[in-house]
């Protein structure tokens, strides 16, 4: 299961603004798709390997009794990668808008018994913090897949369906089954993809009637659209649709409690299959 931080409209905007400022990504259209500065990757990596983080990981891996906390022996492996999400500006069809915006950095942790978890990191008050731990290694795995499939391309996710893609200036190629169902195994042009997401989500962006009705964090139960996640840069907490449930009823035990004890801000729980 994955715990994702959501802080409402003001909090979400603040996190995005801080990330853009610290990483030097604000301002120019398309700048959000530039590589993250090496110094910022190093700072995020240091937060991921800090003793307090490793202690939290030990509890995370031991939460279902698969391994004891003492025997978990978590380690961080591989690279720290940027995770980008389909941008609202691109969905709206704004000229020159970047396809995606930086959401967070991620790195993979592994336990002694082979479990994997993804650490999500964002800058807070001038330093990098772990804000979420998710089962599996989707973020780093898709980053590597994208680099192999389209060298020099930009990997991003479409949150409404949790589909992963890689794109360059002309093409959008799928990295998982959800993306392949959306654009075909051979991918599509960037123009066609923009038309597709505009048609799917253009009326669900912040400021739309959909958003003002309180649905911006995720499709309501009566919708026929996918329910895995909220729309790009959506404001407000998601609904319980699509395998998402409020964290509060679960906070007395399990991953939610241990993350809260570690100082992480947790608002909801999203299930994700283990790798």
Type and span of the H or E element at 183: helix 177-183
In this prediction, residue 209 carries a pLDDT of: 67
In a domain, 35, yes or no: yes
Q: Global pTM?
A: 0.69
In a domain, 110, yes or no: yes
In this prediction, residue 152 carries a pLDDT of: 94
Q: Which residues of the chain have pLDDT under 70?
A: 1-34, 209-275
3-state secondary structure of 221: coil
Structure tokens at 246: 């409020």
Whether 107 contacts 81, CB under 8 Å: yes
pLDDT tens string 199-227? 999 887 877 766 666 655 443 333 333 22
In a domain, 116, yes or no: yes
In a domain, 275, yes or no: no
For residue 125, what are the domain limits? Answer: 2-270
Structure tokens at 134: 């998710």
Number of separate domains in the chain: 1
In a domain, 197, yes or no: yes
In this prediction, residue 213 carries a pLDDT of: 65
Place of tokens 């959008």: 172
Burial class of 28 by CB neighbour count within 10 A (0 to 12, 13 to 18, 19+)? exposed
Count of Cβ atoms closer than 10 Å to residue 107 Cβ: 25
In a domain, 181, yes or no: yes
């Amino acid at each position: 299961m994955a715990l994702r931080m959501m802080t409402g409209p003001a909090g979400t905007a603040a996190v995005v603004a801080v990330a853009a400022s610290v990483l030097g990504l604000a301002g120019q259209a398309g700048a959000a798709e530039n590589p993250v500065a090496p110094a910022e990757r190093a700072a995020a990596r240091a937060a991921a390997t800090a003793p307090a983080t490793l202690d939290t990981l030990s509890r995370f891996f031991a939460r279902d009794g698969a391994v004891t906390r003492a025997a978990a022996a978590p380690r961080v492996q591989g690279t720290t990668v940027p995770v980008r999400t389909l941008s609202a500006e691109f969905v709206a069809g704004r000229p020159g808008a970047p396809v995606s915006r930086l959401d967070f950095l991620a790195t993979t942790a592994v336990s002694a018994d082979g479990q994997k978890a993804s650490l999500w990191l964002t800058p807070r008050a001038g330093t990098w913090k772990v804000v979420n731990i998710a089962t599996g290694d989707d973020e780093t795995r898709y980053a590597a897949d994208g680099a192999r499939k389209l060298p020099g391309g930009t990997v991003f996710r479409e949150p409404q369906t949790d589909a992963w893609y890689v794109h360059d200036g002309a093409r959008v190629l799928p990295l998982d089954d959800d993306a392949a169902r959306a654009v075909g195994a051979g991918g599509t042009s960037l123009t066609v993809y923009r038309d597709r997401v505009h048609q799917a989500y253009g009326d669900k962006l912040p400021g739309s009637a959909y958003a003002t009705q309180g649905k911006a964090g995720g499709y309501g139960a009566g919708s026929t659209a996918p329910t895995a996640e909220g729309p790009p840069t959506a404001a407000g907490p998601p609904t319980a649709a699509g395998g998402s449930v409020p964290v509060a009823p679960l906070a007395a035990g399990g991953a939610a409690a241990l993350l809260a004890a570690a100082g992480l801000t947790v608002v909801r729980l999203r299930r994700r299959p283990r790798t």
